[in-house]
Amino acid sequence: MSPLLHEVRPALTILGEHERMFQETVRDFALAEIAPRAGAMDEARAMDPELIAQLFQLGLMGIEIPEAHGGTGSSFFTSVLVVEELSRVDPAVGVLVDVQNTVVIKALLHWASQEQRERWLPRLAQDTVGAYALSEAGSGSDAFALATRATPDGDGWVLNGRKLWITNAKEAGLFVVFATVNPDLGYRGITAFLVEKGSEGLTVGKKEDKMGIRASSTCELLLDDVRVGPDHVLGDVGKGYKVAIETLNEGRIGIGAQMVGLAQGALDHTVKYVQEREQFGRAIGSFQAVQFELADMAAEIEAARLLVYNAARLKDAGEPFLGQAAMAKLFSSEVAQRVASRCIDLFGGYGLTRDYPVEKLYRDAKVGTIYEGTSNMQKQTIAKLLLK
Ligand SMILES: Cc1cc2nc3c(=O)[nH]c(=O)nc-3n(C[C@H](O)[C@H](O)[C@H](O)COP(=O)(O)OP(=O)(O)OC[C@H]3O[C@@H](n4cnc5c(N)ncnc54)[C@H](O)[C@@H]3O)c2cc1C
């Protein structure tokens, strides 16, 4: 090829055969199985267990787990497509699948020993929900100020502490728990542990009563003298900060996908509504002011989607993606809030009622700027890269 010519790459939104198949399957599933349950699950503040079983059956709970371990053997980009499609219908289901794939499984794929992989990956692919327990009451953005202690006990460890905000905690069979083996070591004392549901001393505590993603469980996790063997350390002792940073760097692309899906879902409902709702003897969608609102929203969503897809494709290509992931999460979570809010406006008074799904999507959007690193934390990452 001439040195003046660059290799032409396909557009980010052109999907491979396998990716398209996944997208279509999940889209159909979400419309048929999730849409009819979303309102009731939100009201009940609970995920339908039958739905979780279906997510496992479809292979959506072990997307990147190799087929040899019973998983789907697919890419990170595929996980992003799946989270987007699920969140278009219900972001609470989107985050359940997101945490399972892009955080918990990711941590094991990167850091687990051969024995841990053989023990846990088949279960995570088949029937075990995972949760990721880093945050505490006193340590959120400053995650490595955590206070949960791991004290040596024979050749194993005893864990004591209280985790807060743990997504999937009610449903989880496996928890990735972060604790410090020595607070004087600062972040170098942080260690990740694999803790199984049913371990003595482990209790799932209060479930938060949230404004959005209400069907997704967010709970306290109490550890009172939980004994684990040395084979429960994920990665090396004192390397938990690396486990946390690396998994969350990728995981936040998944939250970007959740927010893109949410925004697209809100716009889909609104496009339909403005063609049905009549005022002044015409469909409100025939007013140019309304059309321009739709156009602005569509352009913002597409821009957010391109940021998310680009970050995910960079990740799969083994290229640096830290800044792109932070931008994708920052931008898409803000787009989701703006779009969901504008969609409520276009529904008028009906937008405030639970008769239409946009009210729920508006509530669900708020968390996007908070979890897996607040917007300020994403800006801090981007600025650090600019100023280094
Ligand atoms: C629904 C939900 C689910 C969650 N799921 C999980 C989970 O599964 N596992 C888990 O470990 N955690 C989880 N979290 C916790 C989440 O990651 C934290 O809430 C988040 O990191 C923010 O921490 P915080 O709530 O303590 O807020 P704080 O850190 O107290 O932040 C409060 C405000 O201060 C700002 N701020 C803080 N420090 C700075 C700074 N240096 N510069 C500028 N601004 C700053 C923040 O941007 C924010 O606006 C979840 C949270 C929610 C709400």
Cβ–ligand 1 contact at 75 (below 6 Å)? no
CA separation for the pair 375, 334 (Å, rounded): 9
Indicate the SS3 state at residue 92.
helix
- What is the atom index within ligand 1 of the atom nearest the CA of 131? 8
Cβ–ligand 1 contact at 166 (below 6 Å)? yes
**What is the tens place of the pLDDT at every residue in 207-230?**
999 999 999 999 999 999 999 999
**What is the tens place of the pLDDT at every residue in 140-199?**
999 999 999 999 999 999 999 999 999 999 999 999 999 999 999 999 999 999 999 999
pLDDT at 3 over 90: no
pLDDT at 4 over 80: no
Cβ–ligand 1 contact at 255 (below 6 Å)? no
Confidence of residue 9 (pLDDT cuts 50, 70, 90): confident
Distance of CA 366 from the midpoint of ligand 1 (Å): 13
Distance of CA 244 from the midpoint of ligand 1 (Å): 14
By most ligand atoms within 8 Å of CB, the mutation choice from 104, 217, 370 for ligand 1 is 370
Confidence of residue 10 (pLDDT cuts 50, 70, 90): confident
Percent of the chain with pLDDT over 70: 98
Give 183's DSSP letter: G
pLDDT of the residue at 5: 64
Cβ–ligand 1 contact at 218 (below 6 Å)? yes
**Catalytic site includes residue 372:** yes
Q: Hey, what are 144's tokens?
A: 């490595």
pLDDT of the residue at 381: 97
**What is the tens place of the pLDDT at every residue in 288-333?**
999 999 999 999 999 999 999 999 999 999 999 999 999 999 999 9
**What is the tens place of the pLDDT at every residue in 117-148?**
999 999 999 999 999 999 999 999 999 999 99
Distance of CA 374 from the midpoint of ligand 1 (Å): 6
pLDDT at 7 over 90: no
- Average pLDDT, integer, range 105-117: 98
> What does the DSSP assignment read for 109-163?
HHH--HHHHHHHHHHHHHT-EEEEE--BTTBSSSGGG---EEEEETTEEEEEEEE
Confidence of residue 361 (pLDDT cuts 50, 70, 90): very high
Q: Average model confidence (pLDDT) for the chain?
A: 97
CA distances from 123 to 103, 117, 375 (A): 16, 10, 34
**What is the tens place of the pLDDT at every residue in 146-156?**
999 999 999 99
pLDDT of the residue at 388: 81
- Average pLDDT, integer, range 100-105: 98
Indicate the SS3 state at residue 202.
strand
Main-chain dihedrals φ then ψ at residue 220, nearest 5 degrees: -75, 150
